[in-house]
């Protein structure tokens, strides 16, 4: 790279890269979104070391990596291997951030479910377009603004009123192997009509590492709609995983996210949940198992905007090696949002001397008739429990493994899809297995 470019700030470099991206032919329907995204990015800039939203996350390396936008081909066998048997007929495959209809299978989806390319959907519905544009203009996460700046394909998954999805829909994100660092910008919009019920599984995997997936998802839940989302983050250890999930919930809607994370070079998920209708309920849980240099960070903002809404959060992290985990969660109860009930619990199990666990469970409360609690613990395996197992003749290593795995297993077992439970057990608990001869 020439000296002139080197002298530019990283922000200016990204802006320059964006001009080239637009010139090389971005999708016309996305032009206004791309423009709004880059404008927001330039306002926000990359986070400095003491940025409140990135207190525990070092983004220096990420911001200074020069990513390319290239497109690879996924192997059909790899896709099949990562498809859960129950989802054979309902899977959407994104390869390097782009929706791949050839690898996808939608015959199992009921009538009420429609898939529309995002540009088309936005053109048809000005209401949707203004909602997306507002989200970009008010974006507080710089990486999500970059998604908007570079997005060139996206999908609206629309569940019509009263649609009930019996078998789960699998959304598979695949990163292909690449020699140079590449970045993908998948963007999804999930909309559930009145009293629609859906089950969705998100799985992030890579054929090879070195990529950065920078995903944004908007979820709109109308009155009485219910979405159960399972997330499996299984990116290779040298990948970057950034994700922003924004949820808007109307009256009596339910949103449940049950996640398992194996971490990677840097995984960071940002949840922004708006409870906008009375009786809306959110459940969020995540189990992380981190070893070696894995990192997994969660940043949560739950806005209780109206009276009588509920939120539950549970995070369990097992951290070994030089792993780093952080949970920065804030529950905000707006003025007048009486009868809010909110719970947050973060449990960390530290396995090594070099592991790092940072927690910041915040509450911001502007109403008096509410019940909000949070708790956080950091600890090790209970010596009494270990002793008990040893008196029953278990080897120390086996007893330790048993206690460690049961710490996260209880959370994984909550997931209502047996295949996902099995997959996560292999993925996460496999990392904790003691090597025996």
Which positions lie near other proteins, rule CB under 8 A? 52, 55-56, 335-336, 338, 348, 350-380
Tell the smallest beta-carbon distance from residue 381 to other proteins (Å): 10
Nearest to 175 by CA among 191, 160, 186: 186
57 vs 212 by CB, closer to other proteins:
57
On whether the CB atoms of residues 390 and 399 are closer than 8 A, the answer is yes
Residues contacting 336, CB < 8 A, separation 6+ = 306, 307, 367
Tell the smallest beta-carbon distance from residue 84 to other proteins (Å): 35
Tell the smallest beta-carbon distance from residue 52 to other proteins (Å): 7
34 vs 404 by CB, closer to other proteins:
404
46 vs 56 by CB, closer to other proteins:
56
Tell the smallest beta-carbon distance from residue 130 to other proteins (Å): 31
Tell the smallest beta-carbon distance from residue 182 to other proteins (Å): 33
Structure tokens that stand for 3 in this block: 């000296």
Tell the smallest beta-carbon distance from residue 365 to other proteins (Å): 5
N-terminal to C-terminal alpha carbon distance within the chain: 51
In eight-state DSSP terms, residue 177 is: P
Tell the smallest beta-carbon distance from residue 74 to other proteins (Å): 39
Give the Cα separation of 251 and 129 in Å (integer): 22
Give the Cα separation of 275 and 229 in Å (integer): 17
34 vs 348 by CB, closer to other proteins:
348
Give the Cα separation of 218 and 332 in Å (integer): 20
In terms of Cβ atoms closer than 10 Å to its own Cβ (0-12, 13-18, 19+), residue 22 is middle
38 vs 370 by CB, closer to other proteins:
370
Give the Cα separation of 200 and 73 in Å (integer): 24
The DSSP result for 218-246, as a single string, is EEEE-TT-EEEEEEEEE--TT-EEEEEEE
In eight-state DSSP terms, residue 425 is: I
210 vs 320 by CB, closer to other proteins:
320
59 vs 147 by CB, closer to other proteins:
59
């Amino acid at each position: 790279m020439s000296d002139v470019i080197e002298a530019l700030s990283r922000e200016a470099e990204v802006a320059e890269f964006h001009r080239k991206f637009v010139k090389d032919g971005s999708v016309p329907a996305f032009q206004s979104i791309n423009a709004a995204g880059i404008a927001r990015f330039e306002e926000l800039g990359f986070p400095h070391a003491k940025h409140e939203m990135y207190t525990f996350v070092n983004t220096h390396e990420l911001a200074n990596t020069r990513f390319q936008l290239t497109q690879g081909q996924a192997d059909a066998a790899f896709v099949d291997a990562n498809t859960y048997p129950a989802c054979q007929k309902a899977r959407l495959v994104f390869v390097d951030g782009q929706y791949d209809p050839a690898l996808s299978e939608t015959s199992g989806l009921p009538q009420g479910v429609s898939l529309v390319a995002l540009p088309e959907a936005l053109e048809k519905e000005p209401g949707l377009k203004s909602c997306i544009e507002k989200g970009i203009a008010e974006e507080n996460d710089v990486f999500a603004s970059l998604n908007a700046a570079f997005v060139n394909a996206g999908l609206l998954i629309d569940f019509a009123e009263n649609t009930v999805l019996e078998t789960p829909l699998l959304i598979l994100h695949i990163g292909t192997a690449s020699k140079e660092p590449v970045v993908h910008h998948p963007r999804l919009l999930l909309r559930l009509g009145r009293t629609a019920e859906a089950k969705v599984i998100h799985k992030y995997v890579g054929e090879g590492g070195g990529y950065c997936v920078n995903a944004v998802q908007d979820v709109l839940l109308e009155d009485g709609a219910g979405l159960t989302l399972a997330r499996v983050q299984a990116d290779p250890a040298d990948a970057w995983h950034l994700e922003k999930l924004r949820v808007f919930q109307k009256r009596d809607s339910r949103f449940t996210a049950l996640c398992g994370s194996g971490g990677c070079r840097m995984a960071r998920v940002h949840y922004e949940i708006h409870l906008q209708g009375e009786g809306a309920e959110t459940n969020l849980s995540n189990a992380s198992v981190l070893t070696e240099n894995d990192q997994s960070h969660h940043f949560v903002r739950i806005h209780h905007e109206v009276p009588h809404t509920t939120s539950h959060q549970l995070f369990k992290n097992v951290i070994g090696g030089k792993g780093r985990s952080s949970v920065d969660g804030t529950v905000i109860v707006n003025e007048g949002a009486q009868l809010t009930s909110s719970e947050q619990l973060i449990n960390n199990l530290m396995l090594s001397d070099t592991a790092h666990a940072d927690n910041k469970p915040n509450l911001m409360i502007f109403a008096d008739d509410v019940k909000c609690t949070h708790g956080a613990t950091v600890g090790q395996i209970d010596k009494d429990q270990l002793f008990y197992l040893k008196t029953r003749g278990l080897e120390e290593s086996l007893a330790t493994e048993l206690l460690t795995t049961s710490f996260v297993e209880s959370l994984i077992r909550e997931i209502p899809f047996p295949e996902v439970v099995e997959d996560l057990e292999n993925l996460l608990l496999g990392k904790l297995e003691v090597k025996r001869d």
